[in-house]
Chain A
């Protein structure tokens, strides 16, 4: 039995035992359900082995929504614990674990897959490509992300969650102060999904550079593709830094090296530096694709070209450069000296300039436009003022002298939630609503969607604006409780009410999906929003090969110009289409990576080595494999096209109004 003792949770509570039971029951339920409905074969053929960018995108989307609820449960527990002074809902250790997993889950396992979902779903369609450059690598990226996410999520029932914060600063995260395997989970799970992210970065850059439709020069790419391109460039340059930092953290914890220790020449601040050299670009990896989605949505629903296309691109390039030059602002108070702090203050404030350019571009896009207040547009309209508040408080934090007052208070927590929620989360929900019909063939209900939007917006303001005030009054972040005498209680209660409203808002999204699946009409045509770029020029739902004929592009809004100016997008005869074959290897590699990661976390070397060998065997098999894909023949394509009953691009369709 001694062997199994290591898997026990060191700090168990009834809540964790209940979660164990719930996880076990749900897992058994899923397995039994799939077996009962005989869906294993279907799942294996259509999903586990798929290399289709659209299906991979949908799997990212489902994972991101699941993780949103996991991280959301953490959030509501935290707000409940702080809703009144001296609460006994969570103890200090449990609270530490929850704010740590909340941060990691939301950034790495919710926001990242959400943007990868949209990159996968939209980028190949927007550039008129059949798939990404390396479809099988794409599947491997997903399964590595998924393995990392699952690994991280079992931590709280097997061995204990990480508890050193999502930044996991050393020496706190070292063996002396974090004695459970929790931080091993942090190091290894993020490493595995990080490898997947890096591969997505390489894949997407190659796709965008080499696979654009004829006529689509770089400056004719739709704005979301531009934002995805720049975000992926940042990924390729930022993630290797994280890889090394995590490697060093892992060896410190597992092999007793002295990278981030305080003895024998170790340097704990190096972790903070490496972490933020990755971490700051990381937030731009999240926000730039979000900006891309807003650009698409705002120009579609204002019925106008995006204002200032070139300055949009230029500002994103500038943001991507500056993102690597600001990392020290995350620890102004840790003693770099006045000169260093001043330099990083200035670089940080400089980021406000290109971001401001983008804000004005969106405003000018709407100016004199015929604005339709659909759900995606509401999110975009909510985003602009709320995000601006977040940006302005960011400039306050950027002033290093003033930061000594703000640092480690709830003011900071309010600031970054104020950028991430209206910036990234609203964009993801706008994108979800906007692109839903393209992939599922029906629209989400607008009325429920608007209720969701208002619940989230009001909830957000109530939850986070009070934190600015309590933060300035001195409420420290990451404290699990406070005394009545501090006077923080009323505003924290208000925050809890806001968080509860947001929770209800997120539940209404699930209800909306269920309701619309039951009730929404299916004959929505291929362009239900009267949109502007290429992804709407193919059928709904999108056929496997995306476009029967490769589109010929003449402008950045090719589809709009086809509808309004009569540009012909699709010319010539239908030809055989080359498609990649499905493969089970990425899925198997995901499982092996999971086993390897789990073994490393618990320092079980024999299975760890066996699993690593398994990974190399998979790579060797791939090297020897001869797989030239397959062809979809003209006859088959014509049959599929006929089923859709219309060939977009050949004539103007009457169906261009928005269904609400």
Chain B
């Protein structure tokens, strides 16, 4: 494995560069995936059948907590990658740990939110609208859940094996993934919740 020291650690080998480009292309596919989900949500938004409408079930408090927590986690993982580039392993691990904790809080609030929908009679089967909403939120939530495990594995590996080019590469790619989930959430916040509550 040839290591190019003129590049940042995460770009320093050929395979690392391939991994990062490949992941960007994967994110392109993810954009299409969420674009399809958003399209279907917009189509189903008004098709509530005999079930509740968006305005009837959305609650602002949990949504604001989720938004605040997830945006902050995107900031902390940015700090984590910055620390990694400075070679400060412990700072990086701390920021990654904080990121995952914030992600966990997000997930907890989202689970609360889903239970709330269930109690007010907006289940998966209720209408086109609830199915579209829960699939969009659920797909995003499933991505966050997967990210929590993935991030945890990366923390363990950095702890055990140090800041190798391989681990730096994984951490950087994970940060791309996490930022992406944040971007998707901004769209969900604006075009699902705010639009639905107005």
Q: Which residues of A contact B (CB under 8 A)?
A: 133-134, 198, 201-203, 205-206, 209-211, 236-241, 243-245, 247-248, 251, 255-259, 261, 263-267, 270, 274, 578, 616, 620, 623-624, 626, 628
Q: Which residues of B contact A (CB under 8 A)?
A: 1, 17-19, 21-22, 25-26, 28-30, 32-33, 36-37, 40, 43-44, 47-51, 124-129, 131-132, 135, 149-150, 153-154, 156-157, 161, 166, 170
**Distance between A609 CB and nearest chain B CB, rounded to angstroms:** 14
Decide if the interface of chain B is mainly helix, strand, loop or mixed: helix
Give CA–CA (A266, B128) in the complex, Å: 5
Q: Which residues of A sit under 8 angstroms from B22, Cβ to Cβ?
A: 133-134, 202-203, 206
Candidates B40, B127, B161, B166; contact of A270 at CB < 8 Å = B40
**Distance between A135 CB and nearest chain B CB, rounded to angstroms:** 11
Closest 10 CB pairs of A and B: A265-B128, A265-B47, A264-B49, A265-B49, A240-B33, A240-B32, A257-B131, A265-B127, A244-B36, A206-B22
Candidates A251, A258, A259, A270; contact of B49 at CB < 8 Å = A258
Give CA–CA (A236, B25) in the complex, Å: 8
Give CA–CA (A30, B170) in the complex, Å: 42
Candidates A202, A251, A264; contact of B126 at CB < 8 Å = A264
Give CA–CA (A265, B46) in the complex, Å: 8
- Can you report 8 residue pairs joining A to B where beta carbons are below 8 Å apart? A202-B29, A209-B21, A237-B28, A247-B135, A248-B135, A255-B125, A623-B153, A626-B166
**Distance between A222 CB and nearest chain B CB, rounded to angstroms:** 21
Asked if B150 and A623 sit within 8 Å, CB to CB, the answer is yes
Given contacts A251-B131, A258-B127, A259-B131, contact A267 B47 (CB under 8 A): yes
**Distance between A228 CB and nearest chain B CB, rounded to angstroms:** 14
**Distance between A237 CB and nearest chain B CB, rounded to angstroms:** 5
Asked if B132 and A259 sit within 8 Å, CB to CB, the answer is yes
Known: A202-B22, A258-B125. 13 other contacts (CB 8 A): A133-B22, A236-B25, A236-B28, A240-B29, A251-B131, A258-B127, A259-B131, A264-B51, A265-B49, A265-B51, A265-B128, A267-B47, A624-B156
**Distance between B170 CB and nearest chain A CB, rounded to angstroms:** 8
Q: Which residues of A sit under 8 angstroms from B18, Cβ to Cβ?
A: 133-134, 206, 210-211
Chain A residue with the shortest CB-CB distance to B132:
A259
Candidates B28, B44, B126, B157; contact of A267 at CB < 8 Å = B44
Q: Which residues of B sit under 8 angstroms from A201, Cβ to Cβ?
A: 25, 29
Q: Which residues of B sit under 8 angstroms from A236, Cβ to Cβ?
A: 25, 28-29, 32
Give CA–CA (A255, B149) in the complex, Å: 27
**Distance between B156 CB and nearest chain A CB, rounded to angstroms:** 8
Given contacts A210-B18, A241-B32, A265-B129, contact A202 B124 (CB under 8 A): no
Give CA–CA (A205, B22) in the complex, Å: 8
Asked if B17 and A256 sit within 8 Å, CB to CB, the answer is no
Q: Which residues of B sit under 8 angstroms from A263, Cβ to Cβ?
A: 49
Q: Which residues of A sit under 8 angstroms from B43, Cβ to Cβ?
A: 267, 270
Chain A residue with the shortest CB-CB distance to B32:
A240
Q: Which residues of B sit under 8 angstroms from A245, Cβ to Cβ?
A: 36
Q: Which residues of A sit under 8 angstroms from B29, Cβ to Cβ?
A: 198, 201-202, 236-237, 239-240
Asked if B1 and A258 sit within 8 Å, CB to CB, the answer is no
Q: Which residues of A sit under 8 angstroms from B161, Cβ to Cβ?
A: 626
**Distance between A432 CB and nearest chain B CB, rounded to angstroms:** 29
Asked if A251 and B40 sit within 8 Å, CB to CB, the answer is no
Q: Which residues of A sit under 8 angstroms from B126, Cβ to Cβ?
A: 258, 264
Candidates B25, B33, B51, B154; contact of A244 at CB < 8 Å = B33
Asked if B40 and A264 sit within 8 Å, CB to CB, the answer is no
